[in-house]
Chains A and B, each alone.
Chain A
Amino acid sequence: MRLAGRYLLLSVLALIVLFPIYITVVNSLLRPDQIASRPPGLFPTDPQWGAYKEAWEGGHIGRYMLNSAIVTTGIMVGQVLLAILAAYAFAFLEFPGRGFLFVVFLTTMMIPFEVVFFTNYQTIADLGLLNTYGGLILPFLATGFGAFLLRQAFLTVPGELRDAAALDGYGHWRFLWRVAVPLARPTVAALSVFAFLSAWGQYLWPLIVTDDDRARTVQVGLAQLRREALNDINVTFAGVVLASIPLVILLLAFQRQLVRGLTAGAVKG
């Protein structure tokens, strides 16, 4: 009996959490007049797939998703690569000022992007990078958080492994890519998934540095679709579904890495 109660409660809560997603999918398959009809249709009896084509082509969601994919991949690869390089230096190399530079890296975590975005807009404009992929990617290439996490992971590489690798004639570069990075793979994966998730969802920065279709990302495209597609609101819903597909895949395929990335700070704290 108590078990049944628990399942009942879980199911009710699951329905509430899922409802906005469910209604989005349903409305993307209804005609606008069906969406506006009262009482509302909660099930697509006669699914209309046209809204997806309209969102993809007429609403430019196809183009925006391509832009988002390029920008997100650029940010993710750049962040992970730069963090790996810096973390290696902090974990395995000795140089004057190392401790100070590490503190500099940590300090960047205390300066939110929202505090500096308008001057960065000016910088990107001065560099002539408005409406370009470069303008969307550059400010996010480095991450203090990522360098910190990877340094922690590198520090757990046993000293004997380094000695053995040195005896085998491994230089730093080979040791980094053949030994250190493979051993830190869970952290690299968590960091990559986390970087993808946050880069794909960015809104403020793409909103201000793009004002045409060339580099505009899908998140800004969704807001634009909502403003412009008032008469066929089903197209907006289709756009939301399309824009969410990459993240759904990410969640289903890399759930473990995602959880690791999201909880990286919490478990320690």
Chain B
Amino acid sequence: MSAQRSARRRAKDALLGYALVLPSLVVFGVFVFYPFVKNFSLALHRTPPFPGLPKKYVGLDQVKDVLSSSEFHKSLRITIEFVMLTVPVGIVLGLLLAVLAHKQLRGMGIYRTIFSSTVATSVAAASVIFWTLFNPQIGLVTYWMGRSGDLGVLEDPKTALIAVAVTTVWQNIGLSFILMSAGLQGVPDDLYEAAAVDGADGARRFWHVTLPMLSPTLFFSAVVGSIMAFQAFGQIDILTRGGPDDATNVLVYSIYEDVFRAGNDGVAAVKAIALFVIVLILTIVQLRVAERRVSYAR
């Protein structure tokens, strides 16, 4: 009797389990896995030159064409440049602010709130603000650089990507500061005391205690920051629309243009798969290192 009852109970529990995960699974199925798999089919079919004609199966031809095209190489190079321009600077700035504001001193709460404040901006708000700052007629940055009336920094292919990067770094300062501060809080005080007893001064304590103890946070921020930078879109769309002369045409922006300007989702799918592979590699590196660290801790 009771065995029967517990069997029935187990069946009921299992049914409830499926029912509870089902809503999420449906959303994932429709909006994550289906479009993900669809990319591979899109990549194997060429979009016809005129709408209305059937798509043509071309095997890996399109994949090879896109991956070997100079347009794709340029876009990938610009994206990597953008990552290099934003991620290291963002981490160093966040770390600097966090270290300075870490001491328990009078008024530190105000500084912490200020340094976190850019979290309350959005990509679009930050981009609109910096667009006006960079504007050749009314922009203060151009005015202070003595470039008023000249070619604006956003119109100059040599400076446009840097300007987009500055906007991005500023918008992410709050996040970087918060992450670094949380990391600093995880460093035990007795390590500093021990270092002080050993006669280490401030700079030595920073290099030999803070930095090593913070390495997991730094590493995590570098990987997550890179993944975020590889996905950048809003600041490009608002500041430069990929220009001038494709100087800021990062990967996601070029995917957007392929689909919504050129109507070519085949080419877009190949680039999207490339973006996925890049993010996947970064994620795996992050997981591997985190795993190794866990086993050290034991």
Beta-carbon contact of A139 and B27 below 8 Å? yes
CB-based contact A266/B217 at 8 Å: yes
A240 interface hit (Cβ, 8 Å) = yes
From known contacts A21-B121, A266-B217, infer whether A115 and B224 are also in contact, taking CB-CB under 8 Å.
no
Binds B, one of A157-165, A182-190, A254-262: A254-262
The reply to whether A111 and B119 contact each other, CB–CB distance below 8 Å, is: no
CB distance from B256 to the nearest CB of A (A): 7
Q: Knowing A82-B24, A226-B238 are in contact, say whether A123-B121 is a contact too (CB < 8 A).
A: no
Interface string of B102-127 (1 = CB under 8 A from A): 01010100010111111111111111
Given contacts A27-B132, A141-B27, is CB(A114)–CB(B233) below 8 Å?
yes
Residue among A83, A142, A233, A265 with the most chain B CB within 10 A? A142
Contact with B along A86-98 (1 / 0, CB 8 A): 1011100111101
Question: In the complex, what residues of A have CB within 8 A of residue B16's CB?
Answer: 89, 93, 172
Quick check: is B35 within 8 A (CB to CB) of the other chain? yes
A17 touches B238 (CB 8 A): no
Please, how many residues of chain B have a CB less than 8 angstroms from a CB on the other chain?
96
Q: Does the CB pair B124–A222 fall under 8 Å?
A: yes
Nearest B residue to A258 via CB reads B119
Q: Identify which of residues 96-138 in chain A touch chain B, using a CB-to-CB cut-off of 8 Å.
A: 96, 98, 101, 104-105, 108-121, 123, 138
Contact residues in B for A14 (Cβ distance below 8 Å): 111, 114-115
Question: A251-B119, A269-B286 given as contacts; is B138 within 8 A of A36 (CB)?
Answer: yes
Using A23-B133, A251-B116, A266-B221 as known contacts, say yes or no to A114 and B252 having CB atoms under 8 A apart.
yes
The stretch of B62-70, B178-186, B204-212 that contacts the partner chain: B178-186
CB neighbours (8 Å) of B127 from chain A are: 223
Contact residue among A10, A104, A239 (Cβ-Cβ distance under 8 Å from B101): A10
CA distance A239 to B125 in the complex (A): 9
Query: Which residue of chain B lies nearest to A141 when distances are taken between CB atoms in the complex?
Result: B27
Q: Which residue of A lies closest to B220 (CB)?
A: A269
Q: Are A123 and B35 in contact (CB under 8 A)?
A: yes
Taking a contact as CB atoms under 8 Å apart, the answer to whether A20 and B124 are in contact is no
B binding-site residues for A, Cβ under 8 Å? 10, 13-18, 20-21, 23-25, 27-28, 30-36, 38-39, 42, 96-97, 100-101, 103, 105, 107, 111, 113-133, 137-138, 140, 143, 148, 170, 173, 175, 178-179, 181-183, 186, 216-217, 219-221, 224, 227, 231, 233-234, 237-238, 252, 255-256, 259-260, 265, 268, 272-273, 275-276, 279-280, 283, 286, 290, 293
A-side residues, CB < 8 A to B, are 3, 6-7, 9-10, 13-14, 17-18, 20-21, 23-24, 27, 35-36, 38, 40, 82-83, 85-86, 88-90, 93-96, 98, 101, 104-105, 108-121, 123, 138-139, 141-144, 147, 172, 197, 200-201, 203-204, 207-208, 219-220, 222-223, 225-226, 233, 236-237, 239-240, 243-244, 247-248, 250-252, 255, 258-259, 262-263, 265-269
